[in-house]
A and B are shown apart, each in its own frame.
Chain A
């Protein structure tokens, strides 16, 4: 991502105002997935898309793009979260990903499953968001190489 900020003031202003809303909506989708449509996959994709649009609009030198770059350090983190949730269940003495195996005081079995679903969805969302940003950055690396082959 080495291009300059977008020329149009309309695009830049709208991006600055709409991207936080998109991110907020993505978090809503992620955590509301247990009550309505949505969940980890869709929330993660929307979160990733907001970073992609931000880096497309504001170019390479913007703090938003730097945040998206740092996001790539989290590659694999989502999968680790998901597997850790499952592994905790193993340590708790039950089956892999059987959320009731970890005894948490004050929570009955359905509430533990509820908590397990939330944590697993966060893992899925992180994984999907990072992967979406990562693929877009990989593809735009190709563009940069084509533009100046000596670089």
Chain B
């Protein structure tokens, strides 16, 4: 072949676009979807509101001294009797400013949800990884337990546990962890089984690294993507479950209400037209959950190997 042809061939190869890294692709595809971005914005807003609640709330709704009982059940937008503040979203039966109550409620809801998911993720991942790594009867036993638990509807498990454990924020968190760990364990085991067959695990084993090290430092990072997606979607479920339990009256105590409890408080007033006490906390809850679900949903679509090109 003549030189011109060879050079032309090389030119052709050089003209090919450089392949992008997985992270670049993730960012590009995520940003390209407006709903995902919208969900992320919602989520960030909720987190900010929750974290900065004490500073941005017009009033601390749990400081009894700052409440004026005459201000109870005021519709949205009314001014307080003393003229010191505007109740943008109205007040509830105990004259608490609803906007502030929502911020604090978000705080509790997100905290309970976040902690329980993080703990369930940690416990479930370790269990799942161990089951996949060791195999045999350990695997069978662990997965049997997980399966039995998964076959029960989450709410029943939570109800029974709370009946046994009693009331309190920590008890709610424990109940949520128990409900969720099995889900993570199954997912982690699935991902780990795929990884286990790969060569780097064999290589690590050949180097006689202890099993905790192989599990945690080698296999875990590679199993993370699907687990992160599940954690995101699970966060939404955890928050929804917690609010359901609080609504039913078996969840968080009155002193540290979550959005679910706020909604429950407003239930009795709804039929008489005082809708806002349940309505606004409900909207806040719905927005937070929708935001989380949008993010998680699109993360899953992006990270799904079927969609990988």
Q: Do A and B bind each other?
A: no
Give residues in A with beta carbon < 8 Å to B.
none
